[in-house]
């Protein structure tokens, strides 16, 4: 009887020992978890940084395209448009003949300066009260009609991080290549995130048809439209 009791007691002690973890095993488990976390953490940080930067670049592209669409809409819908309606500065042909020669912005404010193409406008993309981008939009003088409105002109849009222009770091017109060294897209950036150049043309002008007729020539037996 005593032997059986001793046997059962030993069996229970052996089962308890197998069910638990020793102090050494706990320390090894903690060390493995710490090493795994240390290896995975940089990868996770890079992944987050890449996602944030990609989102910023996409937002900058949307802002630039929105500026082009806004100017094109004013030209198409406003019969008396001019610089005040377009809301952007024109670059005199005596200064330069190429959009790409217009230098980077030196200031950022609430709206464009009609006389200074190097003044950008602050944009708060997420409506949190803090500007995210500085947009530089400008145009060449182009071809004016009889009323002095530009019928066709070249338009340029550059979108910089707001902090780059506001702090004076912006010093180039070449678009930057966003890297993975930082989770903040504004860190150490000196150039625009997006650069777009395009031509704006008012397509429904009466003289557009006249210029096309002049180019083709009037067929024999036909007369030039009176409006031309």
pLDDT tens-digit series, residues 11-34: 455 554 455 567 777 787 787 887
Give the model's confidence band at 183: pLDDT under 50 very low, under 70 low, under 90 confident, else very high: very low
Domain count, the chain: 1
Which long-range CB contacts under 8 A does 110-118 form with residues at least 24 apart?
Answer: 111/87, 112/87, 112/88, 112/137, 113/89, 114/83, 114/84, 114/87, 114/88, 114/89, 115/89, 116/89, 117/88, 117/89, 117/90, 117/91
Task: Name residue 90's beta-bridge partners.
Answer: 139
Between CA 212 and CA 143 the distance in angstroms is: 15
- On whether the CB atoms of residues 168 and 118 are closer than 8 A, the answer is no
Per residue in 94-152, pLDDT (tens digit) is 777 788 899 999 999 999 999 999 999 999 988 899 999 999 999 998 877 777 788 88
Within-domain flag for 11: no
Within-domain flag for 22: no
Provide the residue range defining the domain that includes 156.
Answer: 38-203
Examine the pLDDT at 182 and tell me if it is beyond 50.
no
Within-domain flag for 106: yes
Q: Return the pLDDT at 226.
A: 52
pTM of the model: 0.68
Can you tell me whether residue 21 is helix, strand or coil?
Answer: coil
Within-domain flag for 10: no
Within-domain flag for 159: yes
Q: Return the pLDDT at 95.
A: 76
Q: Return the pLDDT at 81.
A: 78
Give the model's confidence band at 181: pLDDT under 50 very low, under 70 low, under 90 confident, else very high: very low
Nearest C-alpha neighbor of 51 from the set 218, 184, 187, 151: 184
Per residue in 75-105, pLDDT (tens digit) is 888 777 777 888 999 888 777 778 889 999 9
Within-domain flag for 168: yes
Can you tell me whether residue 140 is helix, strand or coil?
Answer: strand
Within-domain flag for 30: no
């Amino acid at each position: 009887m005593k032997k059986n009791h001793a046997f059962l007691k030993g069996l229970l002690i052996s089962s308890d020992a197998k069910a638990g973890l020793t102090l050494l095993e706990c320390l090894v488990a903690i060390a493995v978890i710490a090493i795994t976390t240390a290896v995975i953490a940089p990868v996770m940080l890079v992944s987050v940084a890449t996602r944030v930067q990609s989102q910023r670049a996409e937002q900058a592209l949307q802002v630039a395209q929105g500026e082009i669409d806004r100017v094109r809409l004013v030209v198409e819908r406003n019969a008396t448009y001019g610089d005040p309606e377009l809301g952007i500065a024109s670059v005199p042909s005596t200064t330069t003949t190429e959009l790409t020669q217009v230098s980077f912005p030196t200031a950022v404010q609430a709206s464009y300066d009609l006389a200074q193409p190097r003044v950008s406008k602050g944009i708060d993309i997420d409506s949190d009260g803090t500007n995210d981008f500085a947009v530089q939009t400008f145009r060449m003088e182009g071809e004016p009609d009889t009323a002095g409105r530009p019928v066709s002109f070249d338009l340029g849009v550059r979108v910089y991080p707001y902090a780059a222009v506001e702090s004076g770091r912006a010093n180039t017109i070449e678009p930057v290549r966003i890297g993975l060294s930082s989770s903040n897209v504004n860190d150490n950036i000196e150039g625009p995130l997006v650069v777009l150049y395009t031509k704006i043309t008012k397509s429904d002008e009466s003289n557009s048809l006249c210029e096309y007729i002049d180019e083709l020539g009037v067929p024999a037996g036909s007369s030039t439209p009176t409006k031309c």
